[in-house]
Chain A
Amino acid sequence: MAQVELVGIRKAFGPVVAVEDANITFEEGSFTTLLGPSGCGKTTLLRMIAGLESPTTGDILVGGRRVNDIPIHKRNLGLVFQNYALFPHKTIGENIAFGLKYRGVPKEDARKKVTEALNIVRLPGVEERFPTQLSGGQQQRIALARAIVIEPDVLLLDEPLSALDANLREEMRVELKAIQNRIGVTSIFVTHDQSEALAMSDRIVVMSAGRVEQIGTPELVYNRPASEFVTTFLGNANILSGTVKALNDGIAELEVPALGSLYAMLEASERQQVKSGAPVKLSIKAEKLALEDQRTAEEHDTVLTAQVRDVDYQGQVARYFLQAGNQALQAINQIDERPHTVGADVSVRIRARDCVILPA
């Protein structure tokens, strides 16, 4: 187990810049997710940590030691791929024992460790089978067993669940997290699936176009997004433009053209950045807009009237497309009996603490 540190990492493939100025610390024993849309450089970042690509500039430190020039086979990392990458010509037992062979583990000990690893991934007794004789989910468990049996300093997982079907994916993600908790290995997990990231991570690194947009706990990146990209990528967000009218005691009063006055509560760390009179962007997650007073009033609430233009019925909840003046809004609310109908006028309550001023 070790801490991983990236210092000023940049990677260019010819003219294509895949990763730009990444500075990230992965705490010892933590589970960190690299989250971002396709092509944002997640895999490239992971491959650099693994030693499969070398950074154009910057340093990679594992356990405080610079590993830039250490080849992959000497880095002691566990690697799990999207397509499992189990050796098709070797049995499950041989697959899992593969890494032990190069660590000089005696045959008898290796066999014990293989059994143990298979127990951890809850697939005992499949040593003699070949990879093709297992289902996708089982193969991925074996791939995980093969990676953890060598007791790696860091476990690197590149979209390990995305080849599985939806039900299995949810099951596996709970299990994967449980295994990681149990063995406590520093894990770096790549995904473009926000719900996976939110459910599994101690910390999330949100990336976009090669850049790190925000690093923080799932709650932080979801509720206090640091950029317009982060807030639109995680969940459904309303982005509003406005001007800061007044600031007092951690509450900013904003003037939003179509809606009038709106309040935003600032966290202590955010207070410095907001200046009176400055134009700002505001993020409000769709599920924070409460329709028809389903919520008790708080100080600095804003209540608007809007018209329902469209309803996206999703069973437990409905997603409403609203029009308030010339401002379009989205709201996601629990359905109480029946959803609001198209054309209805509804009241919309917005709390100050749900309004996030995005850093300029």
Chain B
Amino acid sequence: MGWNLIRLYAVAVYIFMFAPVAVVLLLAFNSSQFGGFPIEGFSLQWFEKLYENEAIVRAFKTSFVLGIGTAILATTIGILASLALVRYRFPGKAWITTFLISPVLVPETVLAVGLLLFLRWLSMPRSFALLLIGHTIIALPFVVLVVQARLVGIRKDYEEAALSLGANPLQTFFQITLPLLMPAVFAGALFAFTISFDNITATIFWRPAGSETVPTQIFGMLRNSVSPEINALGFVMIVITVGVPLMAGGLARYFTRKKR
């Protein structure tokens, strides 16, 4: 009896969580003119409309470039920071750790306004570069956490063995540490990409005038009306943010199996 209740409760929670997503996914294929129920028929017309809408295509491009840029920057910085934090001892280490992780703790709005004020103080205009830097700051803690966790698990012996065999520290990093760290680097990069691709709060503050990412584009379109196009757009976003990590995970597993 008790277990049945808990099971029922669990199902209810899942429905509550996933029903809205399911609604968007379903309505994306609705042929009706209005972005709502009832479903009148199956159609791909909203996807076509999406593809023809230049503003949306531009927003996608911006989001992709931004996401990939964020992934590259955040993983590069994240790896270096993790190496320093895990492998070396230096004064103020605890402070730097806290500082690197703090963007997670600070409300995004505060972070966004802060960076803008800083920019104003430097009297620089808002730009794509700012957006990229901002997203990197937001994604960095996640990359650092993932990479650090993995690095702690890689025994120093490997690196020391490589050094003793004559590889210099840089060669040791590229030959030993980085390959062993790769799963975490990969996961971190994906994290960074999806965080950037999804972000809206800070992006609204930081984006240069006239530039839109997919989420800000959707947000803008919503102010006018809930058009069925938005459902299609939502569908594509879900596919990307869920599909990319899944695909990457599958690929990673495939390659590790092939190697054995």
Contact = CB atoms under 8 A, between A and B. Distances in A.
A74 B158 CA distance: 17
A87 B162 CA distance: 9
Contact of A102 (B157, B166, B259): B166
Contact of B162 (A74, A76, A98): A98
Nearest to B159: A85
Interface in B145-166: 155, 157-158, 160-166
Q: How large is the interface on B (under 10, 10 to 19, 20 to 34, 35 or more residues)?
A: 20 to 34
Contacts of B162: 87, 98
A284 B157 CA distance: 42
A189 B210 CA distance: 69
Given A85-B155, A85-B157, A76 B180 contact: no
Interface string B22-39: 000000000000000000
Given A72-B163, A73-B163, A88-B158, 5 more contacts: A73-B165, A81-B157, A83-B155, A98-B167, A146-B161
Contacts of A146: 161, 165
Interface string A66-77: 000001111111
Nearest to A85: B157
Nearest to A83: B157
B180 A79 contact: no
B177 to A, nearest CB: 11
B161 A85 contact: yes
Interface of A: 50, 52, 71-79, 81, 83, 85, 87-89, 98-99, 102-103, 130, 146-147, 150
Given A52-B160, A81-B161, A87 B176 contact: yes
- 7 closest pairs, A vs B, by CB? A99-B165, A102-B166, A85-B157, A79-B164, A85-B161, A72-B163, A73-B163
Contact of A76 (B166, B176, B179): B166
Given A83-B157, A88-B180, A89-B180, A102 B171 contact: yes
Interface of B: 155, 157-158, 160-169, 171-172, 175-176, 179-180, 259-260
A85 B158 contact: yes
A90 B130 CA distance: 41
A52 B260 CA distance: 33
A83 B154 CA distance: 12
B176 to A, nearest CB: 6
Contact of A73 (B164, B179, B180, B259): B164
Contacts of A81: 157, 160-161
Nearest to B172: A73
A242 to B, nearest CB: 49
A83 B171 CA distance: 22
28 contacts: A50-B160, A52-B160, A72-B160, A72-B163, A72-B164, A73-B163, A73-B164, A73-B165, A73-B167, A73-B169, A73-B172, A76-B166, A77-B164, A78-B164, A79-B161, A81-B157, A81-B160, A81-B161, A83-B157, A85-B155, A85-B158, A87-B161, A89-B179, A98-B167, A98-B175, A99-B165, A99-B166, A146-B161
A74 B161 CA distance: 13
A147 B171 CA distance: 18
Interface centre among A50, A52, A72, A130 (most CB of B within 10 A): A72
Nearest to B154: A88
B260 to A, nearest CB: 7
Contacts of A77: 164
B165 A98 contact: yes
Interface centre among B157, B164, B175, B176 (most CB of A within 10 A): B164
A50 B167 CA distance: 14
A60 to B, nearest CB: 15
A282 to B, nearest CB: 44
Contacts of B161: 79, 81, 85, 87, 146
Nearest to B161: A85
Nearest to B260: A130
Interface centre among B157, B160, B161, B260 (most CB of A within 10 A): B161
Contacts of B260: 130
Contacts of B259: 130
Contacts of B163: 52, 71-73
B158 to A, nearest CB: 6
A71 B165 CA distance: 12
